[in-house]
Amino acid sequence: MLPQVWLNVPSWLLGVLFWLSVLLVLIGIVWLTSMHLSLDLHAIWNSLWPIGRKLPGRVPLLALRDEAAKRGWDFGSESLEIADLADAIMQAGMDGSITLWGRDNRNMYDSLNKQEVLEKVPPSHWKDFKISANFQTADDNFEVQSYSARRSAENRDDWKGNLDLHIEKAALGRWLRVEAEKFRGRN
C-alpha cells in the first residue's frame, strides 16, 4: 500500500522516477566494478557489441613493401634492398619492436593453409626462420612466407614456417622511415 502522498502523483511521473532509479543503480554498479574490481569495461563492451570495435592494426607484408617502394626503396632485379628490408623486418620481429602475424604452414594443401587463422608470430621464430625471397616479386601475400634455412632431411615439418605474413600497420610509418632505413644498403 502506497502512502497517501504517492497516490496524488501522476503515474507517468512514477514510471520516470522508477527508471531513473534503475539507471542510477546501474551506473553505480558500473562505477564499483570498474573502480574496485579493475575490470576493463570497454573491452567487455566491445566483445558484446562489435560495432565500432577496433580490429588488430595489421596489413599484408606486400603493403609494407609497396610503401617502401613509394619512399624510394629500390626493389629492381639488380638491387638487394629487398633483402635489407627483409632483414629489418626479421630483426624487429625478433626484438619484439613490431608484431608479425602469419598462417601456420601445417597442411599439405594450400587450400587448407588458406583457412588457417592469422596468429602472432613469436619473436623466437625469427632466430631460425627467414622471409622468403619471393617477397620481392610476389603478387599474392599468401606467397610471402617464412622458411628455415636449417632444414633437416629427416623431418620436413621442422622447416615449415608461416604463410601470408602480415605486419602491424604502425610499421608503415615511423618504423619504415627510421628503423628500417638503418638496414638499407647492408646487402
Q: Domain residues of the chain, as ranges?
A: 4-48, 58-183
Lowest mean pLDDT among 3-12, 53-62, 68-77, 85-94: 3-12
What is the number of other CB atoms lying within 10 angstroms of the CB of residue 57?
12
Q: Give, in order, the Cα–Cα distances in Å from 130 to each of 4, 114, 119, 152.
A: 82, 20, 17, 16
Point out the least confidently predicted range of 12-21, 76-85, 147-156, 169-178: 147-156
Residue of higher predicted confidence among 179 and 41: 179
**Which residues make Cβ contacts (< 8 Å) with residue 6, sequence separation at least 6?**
14
CA distance 187 to 185: 6
Which residues, listed in sequence order, are joined to residue 104 by a DSSP beta bridge? 162
Q: What is the pLDDT of residues 172-185, one digit of tens each?
A: 888 888 889 999 88
Higher pLDDT, 151 or 89: 89
Task: Give one DSSP letter per residue of 37-66, joined into a string.
Answer: S---HHHHHHHH--TTPPPP-EEEHHHHHH
Average pLDDT over residues 46-61: 65
| pTM of the complete model | 0.66
